[in-house]
A and B are shown apart, each in its own frame.
Chain A
Amino acid sequence: MESQVLPDQPATGQKAPVGAALVVGGGIAGIQAALDLAESGIRVYLVERGATLGGKMAQLDKTFPTNDCAICILSPKLVEAARHPNIEVLTKTELLAVEGQAGDFTVRVRQHPRYVSTELCTACDDCTKVCPIEVPNEFDEGLSKRKAIYRPYAQAIPSTFLVSKRGTSPCKEACPADTSAQGYIALIRERRYEEALEVIRQYNPFPATVGRVCNHPCESQCTRGRVDEPVSICALKRFVADTVYARWDREGRPEAKVPGELSPFPLAPQDLPPPERRRVAVVGAGPAGLSAAYFLARMGYEVTVFEALPVPGGMMRVGIPPYRLPREVLDREIAEILRAGVRLECNHPVRNINALFAQGFAAIFLAIGAHQPQRLGIPGEDVEGVFHGVPFLRAVNLGEQVHLGRRVLVVGGGNTAIDTARTARRLGSEEVTILYRRSRAEMPANPWEVQQALDEGIRLEILTQPIEVLSQGGRITAVRCIRMELGEPDASGRRRPIPIAGSEFEIPCDAMVAAVAQAPEIRILDPDHGLEVTPWGTFRVDPQTLATNRPGVFAGGDAAAGPGALIEAIAAGRRGALSIDRYLRGQPLLTPRELTPLPVAQLSEEEIQEKLHRGEAARHGRVQMPVLPPQERVGDFREVELGLTEEQALAEAERCLRCGLCSECYMCVLACKAHAIDHQQAPVERELRVGAVLLAPGYAPYDPKRAPELGWGRYANVLTSLQFERMLSASGPTRGHLARPSDGREPRRIAFIQCVGSRDQEHDYCSSVCCMYATKEAMLALEHAPGVECTIFQMDMRAFSKGFDAYYQRARAQGVRYVRNRVSALKEDPRTKDLILQHTDGDGTVHEEAFDLVVLSVGMEPPADAAALAAQMGIRLDEAGFCQKDPALPVATSRPGIFACGTFAGPKDIPETVVEAGGAAGAALAEIGPARGTLVEPRTYPPEREVAPADEPRIGVFVCSCGNNIAGVVDVAQVVAYAQTLPGVVHAENTTYTCSPDSLLKIQEAIREKRLNRLVVASCTPRTHEPLFRDTARQAGLNPFLFEMANIRDQDSWVHPHDPERATEKAKDLVRAAVARSRLLKPLHTRPQSLYHSALVVGGGVAGMTAALNLARQGFGVYLVERERELGGYARRLGRLVQGGDPRDLVRALEGAIRSEPRVEVLLGHEPVKFEGFVGNFRTWVQERGTSRQRLLEHGVAVIATGAREYRGPAYGLGQHPRVLTQADLDALLVGRSPEVPPEGLPAPAQWRSVAMLLCVGPWDEPEASEGFYCSRICCATAVKNAIALKEANPEAQVAILYNRDIRTYGRLEALYTRARRMGVAFIRYPEGERPRIALEGEKPRIQVTDTVLNLDLALEPDVLVLSEALLPAEGHRDLAELFKFSCTLEGFFLEAHVKLQPVDFPSEGLYLAGTCHYPKLVEEAQTQALAAAARAARILSKDHLEVGGAVAVVEQARCTGCLTCVRVCPFGAIRIHREAVGAGGILGAAEVQAAACRGCGICAGECPAKAIQLEHFRDEQIWAKIDALLSAPV
């Protein structure tokens, strides 16, 4: 067979698959799967529901059993996934539907807005400082607070911020002007009054006016009204306006107190340049017209307002009386509008709008109001003494003398009527009566206005309609009225008034004012206006955009909508301004968010109660607005309502429930210098075409509220394990200090309660990880608070995996106490807040014990949306709600082409999750691998400019301000000036955000224009930003290694905020050092190296066969080498699989597939004898056993899957008595096969009446054993499975399982344990250190054992004793380890490169492991691991060539003495002695680094006694230069 990639041969008739995959879930499983697929040339869509990648792992402090920091391991993978050119990360994205079939799916997704552009956000954090909304921090499990704009955690990817919105708050939704009431109230609460005022002014230039006279529909919708009374939103608006205006009067009006105040208001994501045509005419200086003018002026337009009257203000001035709205208040707000640059022309009625266009106005806003009163249309309406509301009020308000007389009738029920009546009262009329034709409830006037009128002695005649004005001598004497009754509701929803026949009566009076309605005076316009008019006499406009039928003409306010509330007119003005701006820019008139509005945030009853419980809102009713007493106020036009005091306002603001989460105050928009925030975003739907789908949505931690007996949520000192994990974290809410939530005291006694939400009636499974994480948390607690007593209450200790039991023993040795008990309830001592637990001893004694802190080890449940996801995907779930696995391919779901991994497929720990993710990727690659490379495009770069060592350095230095993050502490200008003085620097400049797209372009320009040959950036940390800047250098033709970074933010300005001077000095030092080192940097290049596109698989068991078959199906050639004469390995010896099924069927299927797979060459009876080379270019010689025939195999990668074997040692009489068997022997007998050593004269298992099984038999049971115990993981489940089989064969049989540790049926295997117990299998635990005594003299073995539960000595004489034997590594594993230079565990299992990062990799690149040679495991687990190994191997094999070199070690062979130090210390086996190379002193034999295998750690260079090795990019001279420069501060 040739060692080349074979041509893709899709089966005939089949379409080629799509070379893309969908990965659902951005936790560690999804990330790992995405990386494995992407590295193999597949385009990956990584879809995550949440805001960030990282999943639950990001929340963990450390991870068992290595205790390494979770985020340290995860963070590099996050960065890799985010930057991978083949991966597109879609956060906040939900799946909608999946159609198609394996190889070609169409997936519809909906991406929800982040409200922050991921392209523009520089993650500078300036926004969170100004956000007034605090919410519980989910990442800290509610133990801390975060802002509404936030980044879930410091290392989050995407690293950009986002806004959490629950929806539009009801107050905002109810406000015609969309005012963010929640926003300004939040700012008032923080006493940020000027900013609060600015929030209002984003919607409304009349805050003080509206704050007095608004009909405030917001208050009727306020959620707080559901608790007691709504928040006094309107009064708060007035408070803040009055307060700030008063301050300005006192201290002077600040020019631009609020950042960005006079820039475009924050609806647009960025400052767009104003359009060319920018003159706008506004007709009418009422609330609509002035508002439009104000916003247009703020957006940079030249606005002229034409007003027919001599004064501006419209109805605010000529309609609303001064006792409601003092004139100085209105004047000051109009002055503010004019201050924004609006030109006002009073006494300037506009008659012809065409003339305005002719004068050069680009757009027109018509806001002429509705000043034409509607007549009653009754006889006598024209006699003297009859007035109409609007002209009457206008006359009074313009200062004319109007005499009404003593008795006045006012007709109407709206605000004009009330204003008229109250004005009449103040003009001296003593008897003022309002006539209204319906009942009080139907009055359109604000009810509080009606009440105030009544308080002032005004009478109300309801259900009364005037029908005739009676007069004498042309002057009114009385009004004839008729009584009404209410009929059916009319179009307005109010009941229609119907006259009562014969009820006519007269009311004598001196004057009548008809105040029923008004209409616009459109007829004053010349008739050629060309605008459509409605039957109501208003302009016809689009209700959302206010566009008329004429382009460029917009109309709003009463003139378009008919008479309405003041706030509606203001809203129309703002809307008109927005539409005109968008019209003139040629943009759509509506934003995405306006087209798809957010839902209204409706808090549930439970949420409201929880907020009150948490103290997020104070519990008391609303503050009453102080008013002048009626007797004082009717005498003149003094203001009636007096306004809130500051104290009252603060108390009132505290009552807000913050329904929307984000309050839309837009402070973040103003603070964001990068213009990244856009609250107008809306969801976007997309269609993705993929060949395979991988599901990794993770798990949901059990909600302990469902177990109220454990007190979580009621008792402060009961935490979940995840909360405790956050508490342990150095970057968590307590910075790693253990502190009781009740009093902050460090706990001295901590109890861990296990199996909360696992192994109970609801959960017939074990969550697999809780025993170990509790152990870890207890050990960490000991580290954090030495001397703390940790007790773990558990049923069994499930320390079943590699290194777990040793970890458990270490915890015990450190003093962690384990108590075998299921805790079912606890109570709190109300005084101390300690928690009292009850537990029973082995002998039944009940103990009560107090603890300072209780940690609930919550189990794993399927994610909340698992069922919905399954329905969308068309896959099946198992009984527990986890994804159902395909028994033939453990990572496959019930639907072809859809794979599952991680905890969604059942509870598991991180290493197994990473393995399973790789396995799912491998399985997917077998189907879509042949399409690799079809949907990905390599990035292209311009040709690289040559930089020779002799070239004089031309260094460019960019110093970042990072908004205020650096510049707020470090004097950036000084650093730039200093950089300019450094040798070699030809360019230095300051950038606000060096990482923003425009700055990156600037850097590229500078590189080209100034011929820079070195780039230095002084900004944040290279951990996150070096790849970006290197890429920038490359895009400008500069070698990426000619780049150096100075970390003046994370390691300077952020940590020395109180010492700006020394922080600036430090920044200079760091820049000097970076510049000095950059001078000596060399361009480095990788070079392509060819590789063999084939794999060697050592071991022909299930794992080896699975790996071989998978690689072959991906299109690679495979040599499968097996030392035995047949394939199948240990699985051939098994009777039935633990998970069900016949292992021999599996073996047969695999073998058959391999035999028919032309890409696999099987070499039976062979074993490797010689090995050399490095990744991509390995050479292995295999020899036929028992002969000397050798064969050379050349391969790019190798997968080692050499398996394991049963211990079968002399312990407990195996081999000495025919009735002592192993579980494998029993397995064989149960399926009617002969075991390895067939016992003589043994009846068939169905005949056995009693069987004893003994667990945990291994080399440690031998006399004088030197080896320690380790858990073989699968023996418990195997024993239980066989016990069930025996009971099934003979229900009468007595089966006893003897053990002294635990029953470790982890995960779904727990169901077997439950079943066995139900069938009557006896589980007898004997005391530690007291082994059962076995006598083998008789026909049957006799066993003496103590039962710790019953506290009894038992004597058993079973028909058969079955030993659960440990699994040992396969024979020959030591030789193999030596040959390939593998490390082994104490037990002899091969050691992976990294338990979590690289669980199927050997440290040397290109070598992988799978199956039981790694550790004992189930067959399905071995298969999964084999698929994962194949996926890893495919990352190498799928490349045309390998890029090697760059920042790797190089040997200066003339100095090399061939001492082998480097060969020994290299962790990756990358160095060897080249026999022909000439070393120091001309002696043959010098070290050589295989660049392909070198990872650039530099340990060899550090160790080389002859200094013959240099690590490129960290060459001695480069480091020396840096040290020199760093420490040689200029004098």
Chain B
Amino acid sequence: MPAEDNGFQPEITAFTCFYCAYMAGDTAGLLRVPYPPTVKIIKFPCTGKVDVEYILKAFEQGADGVLVVACPIGNCHHGSGNLRATKRLEYARKLLEAVGLEKERVAIAYMSGSQAHAFAQAVQEITDKVRQLGPSPLKKSC
């Protein structure tokens, strides 16, 4: 359900592992499945490497939302890095709430490399959600 277009283009930073998730992003390209251009990916060897600090840093630098994309649960190429990312994400959400930021600005999605549409959908969902929430109050003023 797309949010009403209020003219706000949320800046989304995506943290992905280099396996399933990054590949899903590439597959979206191969299949030309469009999604908002305001999403930019930073890749990691595993989402288990995504530190809470990175998520906070993204908001500090002006991101309106953060999306972590991981391998499907049970299919992590390093055992359970995606589960660790999930736990850390929960923690990051609590920290964000503590400083008055909506926890919905952070999301996690799990997908395999061929799921181009799942990738685009995850991106679209967080974009729509954050668009409703409006710009991040932490955004540095120009």
Contact = CB atoms under 8 A, between A and B. Distances in A.
Interface string A829-843: 000000000000000
B49 A1527 contact: no
B41 A1498 contact: no
Nearest to A965: B29
A1317 interface: no
A998 interface: no
B48 A1502 contact: yes
Interface stretch (B11-19, B93-101, B125-133): B11-19
A1444 interface: no
Given A730-B115, A1052-B37, A1467 B18 contact: no
A731 B115 CA distance: 7
B34 to A, nearest CB: 5
Contacts of A1065: 37
A1495 B48 CA distance: 13
Contacts of B43: 1022
A1502 B88 contact: yes
B1 interface: no
Interface string B38-70: 101111111011110110011001110000000
Given A72-B19, A1527-B58, A1499 B30 contact: no
B52 to A, nearest CB: 9
B142 A1531 contact: yes
A72 B54 contact: no
Interface in A1021-1069: 1021-1023, 1047, 1049-1052, 1054-1059, 1062-1063, 1065-1066, 1069
A1058 B34 contact: yes
Contacts of A1062: 37-38
Interface string B107-142: 000001111111010000000000000000000001
Contact of A729 (B35, B53, B57, B114): B114
A806 to B, nearest CB: 13
Place the interface of chain B in its size category.
35 or more
Given A730-B117, A1055-B35, A1523 B45 contact: no
Nearest to A1069: B40
A69 interface: yes
Contacts of B142: 1531
Contacts of B53: 1516
Contacts of A1498: 44-46, 48-49
Given A72-B112, A1527-B11, A1527-B58, A1514 B45 contact: yes
Contacts of B72: 67-69
B10 interface: no
Interface string A735-748: 11000000000000
B129 to A, nearest CB: 19
A679 interface: no
A785 B110 CA distance: 19
Contacts of A1520: 54, 57
Contact of A1465 (B13, B30, B77, B84): B84
A281 B70 CA distance: 69
Contacts of B79: 1403, 1467
A545 B40 CA distance: 59
A1499 B48 contact: yes
B46 A1499 contact: yes
Given A68-B112, A69-B114, A1021-B26, A1066 B44 contact: no
A1502 B84 contact: yes
A1193 interface: no
Place the interface of chain A in its size category.
35 or more
Interface string A1256-1267: 000000000000
Interface in A1486-1509: 1495-1499, 1501-1503
A1050 B41 contact: no
B49 A1497 contact: yes
Nearest to B84: A1499
The residue in B11, B27, B41, B113 that gathers the most chain A C-beta atoms within 10 A of its C-beta is: B113
A1523 B33 contact: no
The residue in A1502, A1503, A1524 that gathers the most chain B C-beta atoms within 10 A of its C-beta is: A1502
A1520 B58 CA distance: 9
A72 B20 contact: yes
A846 interface: no
A1526 B60 CA distance: 12
Given A1023-B18, A1527-B58, A1497 B81 contact: yes
A1054 B25 CA distance: 11
B123 to A, nearest CB: 9
Nearest to B57: A1523
Contact of A1023 (B11, B22, B46): B22
A995 to B, nearest CB: 15
Given A61-B114, A1066-B37, A1467-B79, A66 B42 contact: no
A1073 interface: yes
A154 B27 contact: yes
B28 interface: yes
A1051 B49 contact: no
A1511 interface: yes
Contacts of A1465: 48, 84
A75 interface: yes
A1454 to B, nearest CB: 20
The residue in B45, B74, B117 that gathers the most chain A C-beta atoms within 10 A of its C-beta is: B45
Interface string A1462-1485: 000101000000000000000000
Contact of B49 (A154, A1023, A1501): A1501
B51 A1502 contact: yes
A980 B122 CA distance: 34
A802 interface: no
A1063 B13 contact: no
A1523 B54 contact: yes
A1070 interface: yes
Nearest to B139: A1527
A1523 B13 contact: yes
Contacts of B114: 61, 69, 71-72, 729-731
Nearest to B53: A1516
A338 interface: no
A298 interface: no
Contact of B29 (A736, A1051, A1495): A1051
A1520 B15 CA distance: 13
The residue in B13, B40, B142 that gathers the most chain A C-beta atoms within 10 A of its C-beta is: B40
Nearest to A1519: B54
Given A1050-B25, A1055-B33, A1527 B62 contact: yes
Contact of A75 (B13, B74, B113): B113
B78 A730 contact: no
B31 to A, nearest CB: 6
B106 interface: no
Given A68-B72, A1502-B88, A1511-B45, A1054 B30 contact: yes
Interface of A: 61-62, 66-69, 71-72, 75, 154, 729-731, 735-736, 1021-1023, 1047, 1049-1052, 1054-1059, 1062-1063, 1065-1066, 1069-1070, 1073, 1403, 1447, 1465, 1467, 1495-1499, 1501-1503, 1511, 1514, 1516, 1519-1520, 1522-1524, 1526-1528, 1531
5 contacts: A730-B115, A731-B30, A1047-B25, A1055-B28, A1514-B49
Interface of B: 11, 13, 18-20, 22-23, 25-35, 37-38, 40-46, 48-51, 53-54, 57-58, 61-63, 71-72, 74-75, 77-81, 84-85, 88, 112-118, 120, 142
9 A-B pairs closest in CB distance: A1498-B49, A1050-B29, A69-B112, A1499-B48, A1467-B79, A1054-B29, A1527-B61, A1497-B78, A72-B113
Given A72-B113, A1523-B61, 13 more contacts: A68-B74, A69-B114, A72-B75, A730-B112, A730-B116, A1062-B37, A1497-B81, A1498-B44, A1498-B48, A1499-B48, A1502-B84, A1503-B48, A1516-B51
